Structure 1
């Protein structure tokens, strides 16, 4: 058993023990476990957990040697446990953490396109926070650990926000989190950049959907289309959005309806079709969409279109980076 597997089993044992003691969901026990470990104190409310459980938990926590674990290991174990929470608690497929390789590609484009100054980055579908935190860590690494980013996140699910809150703490990042429907007016002013893995599916509140041009003519509207419209409304003039979106809205019949509207509202910069094997469910295949809002004398350019057959080899990312550099030199710089 290697180190990460052993660590995972030890942490899992702690979470499941607390879950049974408190009679709560796996996700609730997970966030409380890490909250206890981060604060070096076991939280007791209304006598729960009882003294015997607290004593047993203390013994289990000591065996973890939590304070001696690296930040990277803590984040890795926490991410694996979130995946288990998604399965154990039968959470929505949209609440699955974004694959790390997708964050790497998003960070690659952000590093090239964003200015080297303090900017506000918002994720209006933050979920567990995996995408945003992974992107920011890579940008910091490329920028000599310089933290140029003020982070904001929205989700309408309090459990997801709890996951994101713990995740931010483990990654050493400060973030302002807002519990709200992201398709209602945002509770903060226009961000400089939006990063998001958009939820796929139908938006149930038809009355609110009627406020959007991308609403369906009949029945419920697609949440991911409404999200894109909402992002455009809230994004600063001339600023960028880096979105993980359903591939179907960019191609085929879906694309023929949506893309002309989108092309009229923003300047498309890049569409990166991700390999089929990145996502478990073939009906949920995704692409990365990069666009820039109109304004601030921003001009149109050629769109970088590319399809990635695989992301398992380092040369695949190197090839993408070469294409990005060539496109940037020709169109942006």
Structure 2
């Protein structure tokens, strides 16, 4: 039943975006955001072609949007965003894979385990897929904040939050620029990779390059720690080569000074086209009163997410690590 719901909702969203894109001569992703806005207000997009309009109306009649679970909505939108990104030319347009989003949600639930409200921030929220996946998997009261410099992606994040009925405060902003003090309990971000062009702004960072442009992923890690409260946690998707570059020693020293490096979980290599694109999950806890050094960092190479038995064994090992090192069950 859920597979049928997902297929029907995706078909409607995809066809609506495709028709609107052709009619208005706009990018598929921009059309997708417009379709999402219309869905939220229970309106169909206006299609001039009568044949296409009838086709769309038939698809619309096959869905009962109010009955759909949040995860069905998120996955349908994710599939459409993925399609749009394949046709986009912007290199910064990418989407956190679904299995990774759900695995990070599991890690988040390990540390947000108290009956109190939390503040969660994503400094590169993109289309909102990672952030809403975390919110869908949590039963905690969470104030969610998202920052995104790309206007199209921010619009999609807005649509994602609205359609899944999540209150998310979104900012159209380069998060390397000065931010208000967020005092976040947790920062979760799929880091953008590359050089940051504004050397003047980068000068305010300890991890800046001594010459030339600084790495944006280094600057964002420092910003993430600045925006996390003492004792708060960070789960950051980083490139596997993070600690192997000419600027990595400065970053490593900064991390040791400002945080406890809890662990590094390498994602399955089968998820990536080549080694240069491979990523890991860096787990940090910001230093502060009551924060203790751990005996053993969690270092592991995750098995393929399709190998359920091996993944279950890994999760059991991670559960035991959280219990022994952080006293979190």
- With normalisation by structure 1, the TM-score equals 0.87
Distance in 1, matches of 2:143 and 2:240, equals 30
Distance in 1, matches of 2:299 and 2:195, equals 28
Q: Aligned to 1:265, which of 233, 237, 258?
A: 258
1:198 CA drift (Å): 0.5
**CA RMSD between the two structures:** 2.4
Unpaired runs of at least 5, structure 2: none
1:193 CA drift (Å): 0.9
Which segment is superposed worse, 98-107 or 54-63? 54-63
Distance in 1, matches of 2:120 and 2:152, equals 22
1:96 CA drift (Å): 1.3
Distance in 1, matches of 2:274 and 2:129, equals 19
The number of residue pairs the alignment matches comes to 319
Q: Aligned to 1:312, which of 306, 312, 320?
A: 306
Unpaired runs of at least 5, structure 1: 44-48, 141-145
Distance in 2, matches of 1:254 and 1:310, equals 31
Contact 2:209–2:247 (Cα < 8 Å) also in 1: no
* 3-state SS of paired residue (1:32): helix
Contact 1:14–1:57 (Cα < 8 Å) also in 2: no
* 3-state SS of paired residue (2:284): strand
1:259 CA drift (Å): 2.1
- Kindly report which structure 2 residues correspond to 1:81-230, keeping only aligned pairs within 5 A, or say none: 81-92=80-91, 94-116=92-114, 117-138=116-137, 140=138, 146-187=139-180, 189-230=182-223
Q: Aligned to 1:243, which of 236, 250, 253?
A: 236
Q: Aligned to 1:67, which of 64, 68, 90?
A: 64
- Kindly report which structure 2 residues correspond to 1:40-79, keeping only aligned pairs within 5 A, or say none: 40-42=42-44, 52=48, 57=53, 60-64=56-60, 65-68=62-65, 70-71=68-69, 72-79=71-78
- Asked if residue 282 in structure 1 is aligned to residue 275 in structure 2, the reply is yes
1:26 CA drift (Å): 1.0
Contact 1:248–1:255 (Cα < 8 Å) also in 2: no
- Deviations along 1:23-68, whole A, 9 cap, x unmatched? 211111111112212212256xxxxx68x45995476144233325
